[in-house]
Amino acid sequence: MKILIVGNGGREHTLLWKLRRDVPSAEFFATQPNGGMAPLCQPLPIAPTDTEALSGWAASQRIDLTVVGPEAPLAGGIVDRFQAKGLPVFGPTRDAARIEASKAWAKDLMRGAGIPTAEHRTFRDRGAAEAWVRERGAPIVVKASGLAAGKGAVVCDTVEEAVAAVASMLDDLTFGEAGREVVVEDFLEGEELSIFALADGERALMLLPSQDHKRVGEKDTGPNTGGMGAYAPVSIATPGVLAEARTRVFEPTLRAMAAEGCPFRGLLYAGLMKTDDGLSVVEFNCRFGDPETQAVLPLMESSLHDLLATVAEGGSLTGRAVRWSDASAVTTVVASAGYPGAYEKGKEIRIPGGLEGEGLTVFHAGTRRDDHRLTTSGGRVLAVTALGATFPEAADRSREGAAAIEFDGAFFRTEIGWRERARIAAATA
């Protein structure tokens, strides 16, 4: 069996890690793999977004399963191209990927289907956007409608901050083409949940809920990032909350997309806010989240490969289930100084021998191997995932593992899962 992983970040390293456990006899390939992926697969010197070259290579090699990690190739139509060649590929089509690639399109879909989300408007004109901001007041959220690597949402505490954010996106093109259209929406009070669901076009098989930490600073301060850490499971994701997510979010979304002529087959990610009035959708993504994947998949005891292959081959998820560990998982991201702004690359990384072992794994994101040296090549460099019998045990091990890794300018948040720890402390006080 031959399996191709498209992408080369922390999410893709985790997918490769899990799939190698599911099918150890398979032959694995990855596009321009990072320093952690390279020893586990055969490198393919084709960019993840080079759809034509990848589909041609996969056809010539008779690849049995392709798993697409990042959103950009999906939005670019990689799945459509692979399907046209009769190649099994896991991920949504270009039209279905609009649920992430265009926040404006996703908001319209939710409005039409009655899916709970914040009140919003979409703008291309700065004056109109500014007028609506002043009408709504603050706090308020300004989002680039297109793909912005998870950093396109700006939470504004004042009207003037929101006006500046609108001008930055529409006039200065801070997020490039992604920000030529902006979504301005009401700020939601509550606690966020990330829920992945494998979808076969009609049905959603929900995976273990997790919680991401988007802000760069301790206790969720500072600008948004691609994610500084995550943990799973999350105690606020009660059976009632999960039932609400299924009936009010996933099922109506899949019905609405099918009715639009773009049924969703792949991984549908719902970023949800648990408010006093129930769940509300913050955003949808069309792929596994990063770094949530690094926390969720190490807890998955059943085969991920079997489920991905079923969807990729056009099968049904009816009657399928997932078996999970009883442990907790915490992932701490180690990042480069300056992230999410400008940062330097090429810093030598030192990971102590013996750091990884039973219950602790270092997933690589922005790394490369050069002349037997491991160096930094991105903003988010490594993700340290620890398992523990309890959440505090996993959190402590993850933080200690992150602290043991060294490179010039390395930093990380020390309190991933701080709300969960506070809940545990309150319950035992």
Specify the 3-state DSSP secondary structure of 271.
Answer: strand
Burial label, 277 (beta-carbon count in 10 A; 0-12, 13-18, 19+) = exposed
Note whether 291 and 329 are within 8 A (CB). no
pLDDT confidence of residue 148:
82
104: in domain: no
Residues 68 and 15 in one domain: yes
Picking from 127, 156, 186, the residue at the C-terminal end of a domain is 186
What is the span of the domain harbouring residue 285? 191-312
Burial label, 230 (beta-carbon count in 10 A; 0-12, 13-18, 19+) = buried
Residue of 206, 162, 200, 164 whose CA lies nearest to 184: 162
Residues 227 and 250 in one domain: yes
Residues 412 and 299 in one domain: no
pLDDT confidence of residue 279:
97
78: in domain: yes
pLDDT confidence of residue 417:
97
Residues 20 and 63 in one domain: yes
Span 167-180, average pLDDT? 89
Residues 203 and 307 in one domain: yes
pTM of the full predicted structure? 0.95
Span 183-194, average pLDDT? 94
Domains in the chain, number:
4
Percent of the chain past pLDDT 70, that is, above it, reads: 100
105: in domain: no
Span 235-258, average pLDDT? 98
pLDDT confidence of residue 428:
87
59: in domain: yes
Residues 173 and 203 in one domain: no
In angstroms, the CA 21 to CA 24 distance is: 6
pLDDT confidence of residue 61:
97
Question: For residue range 20-50, what is the model confidence (pLDDT) as tens digits?
Answer: 999 999 999 999 999 999 999 999 999 999 9
Q: How confident is the model at residue 14 (pLDDT cuts 50, 70, 90)?
A: very high
How high does pLDDT run on average in the chain?
96
Q: How confident is the model at residue 370 (pLDDT cuts 50, 70, 90)?
A: confident
Output the domain CATH number for residue 165: 3.30.1490.20
Residues 225 and 266 in one domain: yes
pLDDT confidence of residue 153:
87
Residues 364 and 303 in one domain: no
Question: For residue range 306-348, what is the model confidence (pLDDT) as tens digits?
Answer: 999 999 999 999 999 999 999 999 999 999 999 999 999 999 9
Residues 198 and 306 in one domain: yes
pLDDT confidence of residue 179:
86
In angstroms, the CA 89 to CA 92 distance is: 9
Position 358 pLDDT exceeds 90: no
Q: How confident is the model at residue 404 (pLDDT cuts 50, 70, 90)?
A: very high
Q: Which of 74-88, 148-162, 245-259 has the lowest mean pLDDT?
A: 148-162
Position 405 pLDDT exceeds 80: yes
Specify the 3-state DSSP secondary structure of 250.
Answer: helix
Position 373 pLDDT exceeds 80: yes
Output the domain CATH number for residue 305: 3.30.470.20
pLDDT confidence of residue 365:
98
99: in domain: no
Note whether 215 and 223 are within 8 A (CB). yes
416: in domain: yes
**Beta strand segments in 7-130, E:** 27-31, 42-44, 65-68, 89-90, 120-123
Specify the 3-state DSSP secondary structure of 114.
Answer: coil
Residues 167 and 84 in one domain: no
Output the domain CATH number for residue 34: 3.40.50.20
Position 251 pLDDT exceeds 90: yes
Question: For residue range 108-157, what is the model confidence (pLDDT) as tens digits?
Answer: 999 999 999 999 999 999 999 999 999 999 999 999 999 887 778 889 99
Span 386-411, average pLDDT? 98
178: in domain: yes
Q: CB under 8 Å, gap of 24 or more: what pairs does 28-33 form? A: 28/2, 28/3, 28/4, 29/2, 29/3, 29/4, 29/5, 29/61, 29/63, 30/4, 30/5, 30/6, 31/4, 31/5, 31/6, 31/7, 32/8, 33/5, 33/8
Residues 31 and 61 in one domain: yes
Picking from 280, 312, 344, the residue at the C-terminal end of a domain is 312
SS3 content of the chain, % helix, strand, coil (to 5): 35, 30, 40
107: in domain: no
Residues 142 and 204 in one domain: no
Output the domain CATH number for residue 410: 3.90.600.10
Position 371 pLDDT exceeds 90: no
